[in-house]
């Protein structure tokens, strides 16, 4: 990358905690029982009045909340608003609003459909809401690449900064997928766990637990951040995106697409496999994903390779927000010099390649170049490499 890209703020809304501290404590806690929903969510503090809140889908509300925290940590930005971008990915956007209004039309007729349906359901609503709330006039976009959307947004945002198109980009992902039809759809395709557990890379895995939330990072030109005295949390070293071109839901055999993605990200960062000391895996707890990802990590890094963890045992799988939450977790792991365990997992499946999976308890480490991976339906692969601030 041409210009160094600093991370100067992180914000999070997640099932295991709202806010950085609560989220981190949640990552160090045992896997919860039941659905992975954001607990006791109250959007009121984010809006001037209840009417405004009702005109915002929860996925946009989560993004606004996470962005507020990230921007508060970043401090006063010195960049021209025209050079501040907003990139927030999602898998299915305002599906809750969409489903509710379809039922309303069916039961009550066309005239009762809300005029706010479209601006609430559109996938770019979260990015647009942040942009308008804070007056950011640079690129404002929504990446919609299923479960890789958050990771792709961060990677694309880093390039905008590195290539001198923007000085600051607010980047991440948001999702609020808990609707009856969404759950039925994922359930009927056997993607969800029938036993109600999330145990990445464990032989007991039988599908993912749905999650929701938002993760937002403030990415900033390194020199600009230093010049204004910002506290730099981490650095984005490289990113990549590839397609499996194989199957609409299943990963390519042996994780071939994921391997290429990780290789490209390392090449952009000027690193080799032995430089990577930690991988925050996609690790959904589905049989095929975990097998393919373990194969990809093993093939690229050897056995046992870098320390690997998946936070989805705690957070569940929040689709387009997953990669952003995992990027936040990676930054926090560097800050605390502790890799969270893969909650719920009791042992590594002996039928998959041997990776150095962190489970049982958190592992102290000396932070170094770390990779966060996302592998989405449609064959979308995303990797970002994050390094400690130095």
Q: For residue 349, what are the CA distances in angstroms to 74, 110, 128, 285, 343?
A: 41, 52, 43, 11, 15
Cross-strand partners of 356: 307
Catalytic residue among 16, 140, 261, 282: 282
Q: Which residue is it, tokens 């999330």?
A: 198
Q: Would you say 344 and 337 are in contact if contact means Cβ atoms under 8 Å apart?
A: no
In angstroms, rounded to a whole number, what is the distance separating the alpha carbons of residues 157 and 238?
A: 11
* Of 16, 140, 147, 261, catalytic: 147
Give the length of the chain: 390
In whole angstroms, give the CA distance from residue 388 to residue 265. 17
User: Rounded to 5 degrees, what are φ and ψ at 349?
Assistant: -55, 120
Please confirm, yes or no, whether 134 is among the known catalytic residues: no
Q: How far apart are CA 65 and CA 68, in angstroms?
A: 5
**End-to-end Cα distance, the chain:** 17
Catalytic option among 152, 278, 317, 380:
317
Q: Characterise 280 by phi-psi region: left (phi > 0), alpha (psi -120 to 50), beta (else).
A: beta
Active-site amino acid positions: 147, 282, 317
């Amino acid at each position: 990358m041409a210009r160094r890209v600093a991370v100067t703020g992180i914000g999070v809304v997640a099932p295991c905690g709202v806010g950085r501290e609560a989220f981190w404590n949640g990552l160090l806690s045992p896997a919860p029982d039941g659905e992975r929903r954001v607990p006791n969510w109250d959007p009121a503090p984010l809006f001037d009045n209840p009417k405004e809140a009702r005109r915002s889908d929860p996925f946009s509300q989560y993004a606004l909340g996470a962005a507020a925290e990230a921007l508060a940590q970043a401090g006063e930005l010195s960049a021209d608003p025209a050079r501040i971008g907003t990139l927030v990915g999602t898998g299915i956007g305002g599906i809750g609003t969409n489903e509710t209004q379809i039922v309303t039309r069916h039961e009550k007729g066309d005239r009762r459909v809300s005029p706010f349906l479209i601006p609430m359901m559109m996938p770019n609503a979260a990015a647009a809401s942040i942009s308008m709330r804070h007056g950011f006039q640079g690129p404002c976009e929504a990446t919609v690449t299923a479960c890789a959307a958050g990771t792709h947004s961060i990677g694309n945002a880093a390039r905008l900064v590195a290539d001198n198109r923007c000085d600051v980009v607010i980047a991440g992902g948001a999702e609020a997928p808990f609707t009856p039809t969404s759950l039925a759809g994922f359930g009927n395709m056997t993607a969800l766990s029938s036993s109600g557990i999330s145990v990445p890379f464990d032989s007991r895995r039988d599908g993912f637990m749905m999650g929701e939330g938002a993760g937002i990072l403030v990415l900033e030109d390194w020199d600009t951040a230093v010049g204004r005295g910002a506290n730099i949390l981490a650095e984005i070293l490289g990113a990549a995106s590839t397609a499996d071109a194989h199957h609409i839901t299943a990963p390519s055999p042996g994780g071939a697409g994921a391997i290429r993605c990780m290789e490209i990200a390392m090449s952009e960062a000027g690193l080799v496999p032995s430089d990577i000391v930690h991988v925050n895996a996609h690790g959904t707890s589905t049989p095929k994903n975990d097998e393919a990802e373990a194969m990809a990590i093993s093939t690229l890094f050897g056995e046992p390779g870098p320390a690997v963890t998946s936070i989805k045992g705690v957070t569940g799988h929040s689709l387009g927000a997953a990669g952003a939450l995992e990027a936040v977790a990676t930054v926090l792991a560097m800050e605390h010099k502790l890799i969270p365990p893969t909650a719920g997992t009791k042992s590594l499946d002996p039928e998959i390649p041997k990776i150095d999976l962190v489970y049982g308890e958190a592992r102290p480490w000396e932070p170094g170049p770390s990779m966060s991976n996302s592998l989405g339906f449609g064959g979308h692969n995303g990797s970002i490499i994050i390094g400690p601030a130095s």
